[in-house]
Every structure is written in C-alpha cells, then in structure tokens.
C-alpha cells in the first residue's frame, strides 16, 4: 500500500519545505495542469525537473494536459519515476506508454470518472499503473465518488489474472474515511492532498493512511 501526497495542496511558496514534511511517503504526486484539458493551471516542466532533484522520494507526475503524445516523455527525461497521461487526451495511448518505458519511467494511464474501465483494460500490457479518478480532474478538495469502485474491482481481477506488476492508483477525495473503501476494492496506491497537507503532523497522517489501507485490504 503506497501513499502519494499531492503537492496540489502544498504551499507553492514553500514547496521544498512541504515536500520534505511528507518524507515518509512512498512517492510524491505532482499534478501538471495546462488550463485546457482541465480548467486549472499549475506548474510545468522546469518546476517538475527541479522537484525531481530535491525530493527525497520518487516523483509521480500526473499530466492533466492536452497532447501528452508530445509532452509526456519530456517529464520522464526530467527525472520523473512515473508519468501518468490521460487516455482521453492521448492520440496514441499505446505509443505514449511505450515511449515512457523506453525513457526509463514507469508508464501510467489515467481515466476520468466518465471513461469506461475497458479503455484501461486494453492497455494493461503496456502500462505499469492505472489511475482511476474518483473526482473530476482539475481541482483538489472535491468529494469522493464511491461509484467508481467497480472499476477497481474489474482492474484488480484482470491484473491478478495476468500476473502483471501493475499498480492501481486512486486520486480524488482520499482521506481516513474513504481510503479503506478503495483498498477493499483493489486499489494499492493512494493520492491524498488536503487530507495530508491540512494535518498538523503530515508524516503522521501519511503513516495513518497507509495503516488504514493495509488493515482494510486484510479484512
């Protein structure tokens, strides 16, 4: 069970400090938004490259941008451990995944709440992670969409049957009261923004969320 704090909820004026305050995390989730694929605008390639240099954990980049066919591999070249592109934005998702792997990064595909899970199933042989959005992408702090759990159940069954090493990530509304639901449905990698960054002790919250996920998966 992997916990990935999202710096979307961090203080961008004190970003390195806020990254180091979640040093117990497994990976760090970095949202790149272009103001076109989603209505929000965050940060881009130069900032991500610098984050990769200073962060004490691997960087998990989530591209919520148009034309990932052009841009995705550049984030791998900048040092990202994992790069997620949206199925809905890619012209050739299979080729994007192959280029990411060739560049030495883990390739990941994301699907929005309205996208059928079959789109991700078709790419399981090409990716290292599938991200299921449990909010509409673009802004942090949204309410968790429990109706997406059937996607995790379907993906978990397919991954287990194939024997592939494919992580199943969730992003959107993850906190103490929702993480167990996803863990029981088959998720194993959890993005949490406000739940961690609004906590008094951020590393303690990382550990608490991981413990809740592990217990839910065992039950």
Average pLDDT of span 24-46: 96
What CA–CA distances, in Å, run from 15 to 11, 30, 51, 219?
A: 6, 11, 9, 37
The pLDDT tens digits for 148-165 are: 999 999 999 999 999 999
H-type alpha helices, 78-115: 93-102
Tell me the fold of 2-218.
TIM Barrel (3.20.20)
Half-sphere exposure of 27 toward its Cβ, with a 13 Å CA cutoff? 22
The structure tokens listed for 215 are: 């217990």
The pLDDT tens digits for 191-201 are: 999 999 999 99
Structural domain boundaries of the chain?
2-218
Q: At residue 121, what are phi and psi to the nearest 5 degrees?
A: -60, -35
Average pLDDT of span 16-38: 97
Query: Counting beta carbons within 10 angstroms of the beta carbon of residue 130, is it exposed (0 to 12), middle (13 to 18) or buried (19 or more)?
Result: buried
- More confident call, 142 vs 208: 208
pLDDT at 140: 67
H/E element holding 47?
A: helix 45-54
Q: Which residues are catalytic?
A: 31, 171
Average pLDDT of span 20-45: 96
| Rounded CA separation 60/82 (Å) | 5
Task: Flag whether pLDDT at 23 surpasses 80.
Answer: yes
The pLDDT tens digits for 82-140 are: 999 999 999 999 999 999 999 999 999 999 999 999 999 999 999 999 999 999 887 76
- Average pLDDT score, the chain: 96
Is 0.85 surpassed by the pTM of this model?
Answer: yes
């Amino acid at each position: 069970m992997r916990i990935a704090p999202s710096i979307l909820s961090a203080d961008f004026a004190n970003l390195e400090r806020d990254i180091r305050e979640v040093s117990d995390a497994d990976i760090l989730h970095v949202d790149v938004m272009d103001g076109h694929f989603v209505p929000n605008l965050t940060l881009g390639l130069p900032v991500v490259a610098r984050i990769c240099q200073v962060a004490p954990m691997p960087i998990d980049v989530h591209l919520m941008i148009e034309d990932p066919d052009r841009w995705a591999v550049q984030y791998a070249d900048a040092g990202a451990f994992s790069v997620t592109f949206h199925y809905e934005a890619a012209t050739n998702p299979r080729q994007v995944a192959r280029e990411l792997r060739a560049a030495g990064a883990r390739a990941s595909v994301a699907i929005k709440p309205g996208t059928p899970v079959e789109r991700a199933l078709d790419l399981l042989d090409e990716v290292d992670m599938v991200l299921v959005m449990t909010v509409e992408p673009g802004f942090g702090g949204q309410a968790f969409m429990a109706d997406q759990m059937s996607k995790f159940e379907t993906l978990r069954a397919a991954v287990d049957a194939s024997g592939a090493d494919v992580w199943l990530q969730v992003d959107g509304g993850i906190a103490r009261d929702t993480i167990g639901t996803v863990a029981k449905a088959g998720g194993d990698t959890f993005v949490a923004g406000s739940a961690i960054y609004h906590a008094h002790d951020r590393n303690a919250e990382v550990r608490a969320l991981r413990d809740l996920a592990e217990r839910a998966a065992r039950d």
